[in-house]
Amino acid sequence: MVASTRDASVDRFSLVRAHGQHDDFAHDVRLGLTASPKTLPPKYFYDDLGSMLFEAICRLPEYYVSRSEGEILGSFADEIVQSFGTPVRLIELGSGTSRKTRVLLDKLIQRQRALEYIPIDIDGELLHQTAQRLLEDYSDLFVHAVVADFRRIDDVLPPLLATGSQQRNVVLFLGSTIGNLDRGDQKELLRTVRRVLFPGDMLLIGADQRKRKDILEPAYSDALGVTAAFNLNLLVRMNSELGAQFNLNNFRHRAFFNEEEGRIEMHIVSSVSQSVRIEALDIEIIFASGETIHTENSYKFDDAEIAALAGETGFAVERSWTDSRRFFADVLLVAQTAVRRTGDSV
Ligand code: SAH
Ligand code: TRP
> In what helix (H) or strand (E) does residue 26 lie, and over which residues does it extend?
helix 25-33
Look up the CATH number of the domain holding residue 91: 3.40.50.150
Do both 170 and 319 map to the same domain? yes
The average pLDDT across 80-84 equals: 98
Q: How many domains does the chain have?
A: 2
Do both 71 and 160 map to the same domain? yes
List, in order, residues 6 or more apart from 290 with CB less than 8 Å away. 269, 270, 271
Instruction: Confirm whether 29 is domain-assigned.
Output: yes
List, in order, residues 6 or more apart from 117 with CB less than 8 Å away. 89, 90, 91, 92, 101, 105, 134, 141, 142, 143, 144
pTM: 0.94
The whole-number pLDDT of residue 31 equals 98
119 Cβ below 6 A of ligand 1: no
95 Cβ below 6 A of ligand 1: yes
pLDDT for 220-256, tens place per residue? Answer: 999 999 999 999 999 999 999 999 999 999 999 999 9
Do both 199 and 153 map to the same domain? yes
232 Cβ below 6 A of ligand 2: no
Helix, strand, or coil (residue 343): coil
Scored b (16 or more CB within 10 A) or e, 63-72 reads: bbbbbbbbbb
57 Cβ below 6 A of ligand 2: yes
Taking the centre of ligand 1 as the mean of its atom positions, its distance from the CA of residue 9, in whole angstroms, is 28
Do both 71 and 146 map to the same domain? yes
Instruction: Confirm whether 345 is domain-assigned.
Output: no
- Amino acid, res. 54: F
Average confidence score pLDDT of the chain = 94
pLDDT at 184 over 60: yes
* Contact present, 174 and 71 (Cβ < 8 Å): no
pLDDT for 4-27, tens place per residue? Answer: 555 444 589 999 998 877 779 999
Do both 113 and 247 map to the same domain? no
pLDDT at 339 over 80: no
The average pLDDT across 71-96 equals: 97
pLDDT for 261-293, tens place per residue? Answer: 999 999 999 999 999 999 999 999 999 999 999
pLDDT for 113-148, tens place per residue? Answer: 999 999 999 999 999 999 999 999 999 999 999 999
Do both 183 and 324 map to the same domain? yes
* Contact present, 152 and 196 (Cβ < 8 Å): no
Do both 161 and 76 map to the same domain? yes
Taking the centre of ligand 1 as the mean of its atom positions, its distance from the CA of residue 194, in whole angstroms, is 19
The whole-number pLDDT of residue 341 equals 52
d(CA 144, CA 126): 14
pLDDT at 217 over 50: yes
Do both 243 and 100 map to the same domain? no
Please calculate the CA angle 108-95-150 and round it to the nearest 5 degrees: 120
The whole-number pLDDT of residue 332 equals 98
Give the residue among 210, 222, 227, 215 at the shortest CA–CA distance from 328: 210
Sign, CA torsion 152/121/330/60? negative
d(CA 66, CA 24): 30
Q: Which of 32-36, 40-44, 160-164 has the lowest mean pLDDT?
A: 160-164
Instruction: Confirm whether 233 is domain-assigned.
Output: yes
Phi, psi of 307 (to 5 degrees): -65, -40
Q: Where are the beta strands (DSSP E) in 49-140?
A: 88-93, 115-121
Backbone dihedral region of 320: left (phi > 0), alpha (psi from -120 to 50 degrees) or beta? beta
Taking the centre of ligand 1 as the mean of its atom positions, its distance from the CA of residue 248, in whole angstroms, is 25
Do both 156 and 55 map to the same domain? no
d(CA 215, CA 170): 32
> In what helix (H) or strand (E) does residue 155 lie, and over which residues does it extend?
none
174 Cβ below 6 A of ligand 1: yes
pLDDT at 346 over 50: no
Using 50, 70 and 90 to split pLDDT, how confident is the model at 344? low
pLDDT at 343 over 70: no
Scored b (16 or more CB within 10 A) or e, 160-185 reads: bbeeeeebbbbbbbbbbbbbbbeeee
pLDDT for 41-81, tens place per residue? Answer: 999 999 999 999 999 999 999 999 999 999 999 999 999 99
Report the DSSP pairing between strands 202-208 and 115-121.
unpaired
User: Residue 96 carries which DSSP code?
Assistant: T
List, in order, residues 6 or more apart from 94 with CB less than 8 Å away. 120, 121, 122, 150, 173, 174, 175, 177
User: Which ligand is the nearest neighbour of the Cα of 62?
Assistant: 2
The whole-number pLDDT of residue 1 equals 46
pLDDT for 294-330, tens place per residue? Answer: 999 999 999 999 999 999 999 999 999 999 999 999 9
Which of 210, 298, 299, 330 to mutate to test ligand 2, by most ligand atoms within 8 A of the CB atom?
298
Give the residue among 183, 161, 211, 145 at the shortest CA–CA distance from 6: 145
Ligand 2 atom closest to Cα of 264?
4
Which of 24, 92, 121, 128 to mutate to test ligand 1, by most ligand atoms within 8 A of the CB atom?
121
Quote the distance between the C-alpha of residue 140 and its chain's center: 26
Do both 54 and 73 map to the same domain? no
Which of 16, 17, 22, 43 to mutate to test ligand 1, by most ligand atoms within 8 A of the CB atom?
43
177 Cβ below 6 A of ligand 2: yes
176 Cβ below 6 A of ligand 2: yes
List, in order, residues 6 or more apart from 339 with CB less than 8 Å away. 346
Do both 287 and 310 map to the same domain? no
Using 50, 70 and 90 to split pLDDT, how confident is the model at 166? confident
Which of 55, 227, 253 to mutate to test ligand 2, by most ligand atoms within 8 A of the CB atom?
227
* Contact present, 318 and 332 (Cβ < 8 Å): yes
Quote the distance between the C-alpha of residue 99 and its chain's center: 14
pLDDT at 168 over 50: yes
The whole-number pLDDT of residue 155 equals 87
Task: Give the range of the structural domain holding residue 187, as residue numbers without chain letter.
Answer: 64-211+301-335
